[in-house]
C-alpha cells in the first residue's frame, strides 16, 4: 500500500458537514484506509480572493489504488457532494475540493495529474494542516517543517465551532 496526502476544502453551504461527508466517502472507498486527519482550519481564499473564507483540512491515507484511480475517486466524491467543475471560476467558491498532494515518493507530470501537487508548498491552507499530521515528512526533497518556517500563515486559524462561524 502507498501513503498519500489529500487536502480538503469547502467555502459554500455546510462546510463542516461537507468535509465530514467527503471524509466518510474516502474512508468507505475500497482500497483506501484513513490513517490520520488534521483539525479544521479557517483560511482566507487563495487565488480568487473575492469569496467567503474556507474550511480546510488534510488527511493521510494508505491506498491500493494507483494515483490516477485515486484522483478519479476524489473527483467522484466532489461530484457526489455537489461540485460542478464545468461551471464556475478558477479558484472560485466550491462546495468541496479534494486535491491529491502526494502519493508515496512518486513524481508525475501529466495533463490530469501532477505529483507532488505543484502549489502545495505555496499554500498555507495546505501546509498548516499537513504539517499537523506529517510535519516530519519530506516530499520530493522538500521538508514540510522547513516550508512552514517560511510561509505566511497569517490567514490561517484553527477553527473552533464554539467561537467561529463557517
Of 53, 73, 83, 123, the catalytic one is 83
pLDDT tens for each residue of 44-90: 887 666 778 999 999 999 999 999 999 999 999 999 998 776 666 56
Within 13 Å of residue 45, how many CA atoms lie on the same side as its CB?
Answer: 15
Instruction: Identify whether 94 is a catalytic site residue.
Output: yes
- Cβ count within 10 A of residue 145: 13
Instruction: Identify whether 105 is a catalytic site residue.
Output: no
Q: Cell triple for residue 1?
A: 500500500
Of 37, 53, 73, 97, the catalytic one is 97
Question: What span, in angstroms and rounded, lies between the C-alpha atoms of 43 and 137?
Answer: 23
Question: Can you give the CATH number for the domain in which 81 is found?
Answer: 3.30.70.560
Instruction: Tell me, yes or no, whether 92 lies in a domain.
Output: yes
Instruction: Tell me, yes or no, whether 108 lies in a domain.
Output: yes
Instruction: Identify whether 21 is a catalytic site residue.
Output: no
Of 21, 99, 137, 153, the catalytic one is 99
What's the mean pLDDT in 118-145? 95
Q: 117 Cβ partners below 8 Å, 6+ apart?
A: 7, 99, 100, 101, 102, 126
What's 52's DSSP letter?
A: P
Instruction: Identify whether 37 is a catalytic site residue.
Output: no
User: Structural domain tally of the chain?
Assistant: 1
Instruction: Tell me, yes or no, whether 164 lies in a domain.
Output: no
Instruction: Tell me, yes or no, whether 113 lies in a domain.
Output: yes
Q: 19 Cβ partners below 8 Å, 6+ apart?
A: 8, 9, 10, 40, 55, 57, 96
Give the structural domain span for 106. Answer: 2-158
What's 47's DSSP letter?
A: S
Instruction: Tell me, yes or no, whether 66 lies in a domain.
Output: yes
Q: Which of 52, 4, 53, 38 is nearest to 126 (CA)?
A: 38
Question: What span, in angstroms and rounded, lies between the C-alpha atoms of 103 and 119?
Answer: 15
Q: Cell triple for residue 115?
A: 505529483
Question: What span, in angstroms and rounded, lies between the C-alpha atoms of 117 and 137?
Answer: 15
Instruction: Tell me, yes or no, whether 25 lies in a domain.
Output: yes
> Is pLDDT at 163 greater than 70 in this prediction?
no
Instruction: Tell me, yes or no, whether 163 lies in a domain.
Output: no
Q: What is the pLDDT of residue 10?
A: 95
This prediction has a pTM of 0.91
> Is pLDDT at 130 greater than 60 in this prediction?
yes
Of 37, 53, 73, 94, the catalytic one is 94
Question: What span, in angstroms and rounded, lies between the C-alpha atoms of 63 and 78?
Answer: 19
Q: Say what the alpha-carbon torsion angle 134, 18, 119, 108 is, to the nearest 10 degrees.
A: 80
Instruction: Tell me, yes or no, whether 166 lies in a domain.
Output: no
Q: Maximum distance among all alpha carbons in the chain?
A: 43
Amino acid at each position: 500500500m502507498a501513503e498519500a496526502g489529500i487536502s480538503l476544502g469547502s467555502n459554500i453551504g455546510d462546510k463542516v458537514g461537507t468535509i465530514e461527508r467527503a471524509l466518510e466517502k474516502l474512508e468507505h472507498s475500497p482500497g483506501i484506509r484513513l490513517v490520520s486527519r488534521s483539525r479544521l482550519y479557517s483560511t482566507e481564499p487563495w487565488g480568487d480572493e473575492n469569496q467567503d473564507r474556507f474550511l480546510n483540512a488534510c488527511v493521510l491515507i494508505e491506498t491500493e489504488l494507483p494515483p490516477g484511480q485515486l484522483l478519479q475517486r476524489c473527483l467522484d466524491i466532489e461530484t457526489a457532494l455537489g461540485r460542478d467543475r464545468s461551471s464556475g471560476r478558477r479558484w472560485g467558491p466550491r462546495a468541496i475540493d479534494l486535491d491529491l498532494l502526494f502519493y508515496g515518493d512518486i513524481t508525475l507530470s501529466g495533463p490530469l495529474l501532477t505529483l507532488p501537487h505543484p502549489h502545495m508548498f505555496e499554500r498555507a491552507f495546505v501546509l498548516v494542516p499537513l504539517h499537523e499530521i506529517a510535519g516530519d515528512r519530506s516530499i520530493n526533497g522538500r521538508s514540510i517543517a522547513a516550508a512552514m518556517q517560511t510561509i505566511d500563515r497569517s490567514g490561517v486559524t484553527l477553527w473552533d465551532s464554539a467561537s467561529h462561524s463557517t
